[in-house]
Amino acid sequence: LHHLENVHIASDRNLQDVRFPVQYVIRPQSTAHHDYRGYAGTVAGGVLKPGDEVIVLPSGLKSTIAAIDTADGEIDEAYAPMAVTVRLTDDIDVSRGDMICRPHNQPRVSQDIEAMVCWLSEEPLRDRGMYAIKHTTRSARCQVRGLDYRIDVNTLHRDETADSLSLNEIGRVTLRATLPLFADEYRRNRTTGSFLLIDESTGATVGAGMIL
């Protein structure tokens, strides 16, 4: 109890690596805001300020933050886990699922993911099975390319002969996504380092993953 009540948790938030997954593009197209173009989402890491140079993934286009808006008006800075709208100085193509970050501090961009997965379904994980994957605001499909091992939760030993994961079992898997994902290690950023696996036929969440 003493450890639980006093354990340090402030460093769970990554304030170094700027990560802003775009959730929605705001274009009012009204008379009062005829040229407004903002990118709404929740800051997943780092600190954003007007004047900061940023890059948009996957396009690689660079721009500068013009302003940061909230429901209460403009603010001087935004940090995780604030929900804000970012405006850029350049009119570039940005859409849902894109990632705004710093040019010299970018997440890993790859279709191949190695992760620890906790299986949440009574239907076992299928090797070579296809699932929908939800990572930050980006959605894609993925295939299980291999189950490296299953962890015995009682002894923490690795069972490298395992060929499936059942309900509540944990294992290391290799996935191949149909779209590149903008990911960090889970231990560095819990938002960009996690994902959900979804059964496409039922829409049920079947797995939760932590990217290695």
pLDDT 10s digits, 149-196: 999 989 999 999 988 999 999 999 999 999 999 999 999 999 999 999
C-beta of residue 24 within 8 angstroms of C-beta of residue 40: yes
- Residue 34 vs residue 143, higher pLDDT: 143
Predicted local confidence at residue 17, as pLDDT: 94
pLDDT band at 200 (very low <50, low <70, confident <90, very high): very high
Predicted local confidence at residue 10, as pLDDT: 63
Contacts of 197 (CB under 8 A, 6+ apart): 117, 131, 132, 133, 142, 205, 206, 207, 208, 209
Q: Evaluate if residue 33 carries a pLDDT over 90.
A: no
